[in-house]
Amino acid sequence: MQIHKNISLINHNTFRVDNSAETLILIENDEDLGNLLKDENYSLKSKFFLGAGSNLLITRPIKGLTIKNIQTSIKIVEENSEFAIIEVDSGLEWHNFVSFCLDNCYYGLENLALIPGLIGAAPVQNIGAYGVEQQKYFDSLICIDLNTGQQKVMYGNDCNFDYRHSIFKQEEYKSCFITKVRYKLKKSFEPDISYKDLKIFFQDKTNIQAKDLFDAVVEIRNNKLPNHNETPNAGSFFKNPILDENQLKDLLTIEPNIVYYPIQNNMFKVSAANLIEKAGLKGYRKKNVGISIKHSLIIANFGNSSGEEIYDFAKFVISVLIDKYKIRLEPEVIII
């Protein structure tokens, strides 16, 4: 276990916001959490779980304990001719796991290549991209309730997965520290190119292989999204709003050419990026905070902006869309 006092988190969040953690604890092995729970001062302190900081906006110094798993092992726990169940430490980079699966012929996650963040954040956020969400291949996870010390195994039905949502966002589950995640992946490859960008990319191609799909997703993401190492950002800042039929009709009277997709139960997912672009905000900046010219869902830190300044800019974007479209965008990024 590594313990750091009053440490800057500028290298632990992709917005590169320079706020500090009162105590940063890095978990190096399975015994560390048990030892932490035995500390008589532990229960008196607040706890915050930190991943790669790639879907996070820190607006203040973090008091109490900031806990991060840095274990990165991968283990095959079951395998036959059709599938494999792979257990991954929550501290491993998600993209590294996708690359491992591709290299070892375990298929299904190709559409999720290059998503920043750690494995532990994947079920919390129910990450998804290019027509696939992680829940499709999720098997189970192991977590420890750091309030009680109880270890739990949770399966897909336990996690209440929804669009960028899981049970771990509910107050009673926020004390659950995910240590390992298991995915059930196929041994035979079936490309999913249902997403528009992938359909276009592969329109003249046949016999698509897993590496082809993986490479296509990487290329598309690199072309559309700014690299957070060059332009600090936390990926898509806002969720796509979900509207009912009447709300969609009202929106179409204001903006007839808006991009939307039908989903279940006569509901519709509207492109937040398209809304922001139609509102004239793509590339718009206030001082050192602004919307990327590459993608209008990306709020970027173009200088040494504080978390508060970035949050104020996000609230400005929300207010513009309320005034123009009567739609309130919800942040996808976790704001603390």
Residue ranges covered by each domain of the chain: 2-69, 74-224, 233-335
- For the domain made up of 74-224, give the CATH fold: 3.30.465
**Would you state the pLDDT for residue 234?**
94
Looking at residue 135, what is its pLDDT? Answer: 95
- Active-site residue list: 164, 236, 332
Query: Which has the closest alpha carbon to 128: 51, 229, 224, 217?
Result: 217
Output the pLDDT for position 19: 95
The C-alpha angle 42, 48, 54, rounded to 5 degrees, equals: 150
Token pair for 10: 């500028």
Per-residue pLDDT at 142: 96
244 beta partners: 267
Q: What is the pLDDT of residue 164?
A: 83
What is the separation of C-alpha 41 from the centre of its chain, rounded to a whole number of angstroms?
A: 32
Q: How far apart are CA 33 and CA 180, in angstroms?
A: 13
- Note the CATH number of domain 233-335: 3.90.78.10
The residue with tokens 């829940």 is 135
Q: Residue 100 corresponds to which tokens in the numbers above?
A: 């491992």
CA angle 183, 185, 187 (to 5 degrees): 155
Query: According to the model, what pLDDT value does residue 178 have?
Result: 95
Measured CA to CA, the distance from residue 133 to residue 126 in angstroms comes to 7
Fold of 2-69: 3.30.43
Pairing of strands 83-89, 128-129: unpaired
pLDDT in tens, the chain (336 residues): 899 999 999 999 999 999 999 999 999 998 888 888 888 777 778 889 999 999 999 999 999 999 999 999 999 999 999 999 999 999 999 999 999 999 999 999 999 999 999 999 999 999 999 999 999 999 999 999 988 888 999 999 999 999 888 999 888 888 899 999 999 999 999 999 998 899 999 998 889 999 999 999 999 999 988 899 899 999 999 999 999 999 999 999 999 999 998 888 889 999 999 999 999 999 999 999 999 999 999 999 999 999 999 999 999 999 999 999 999 999 999 999
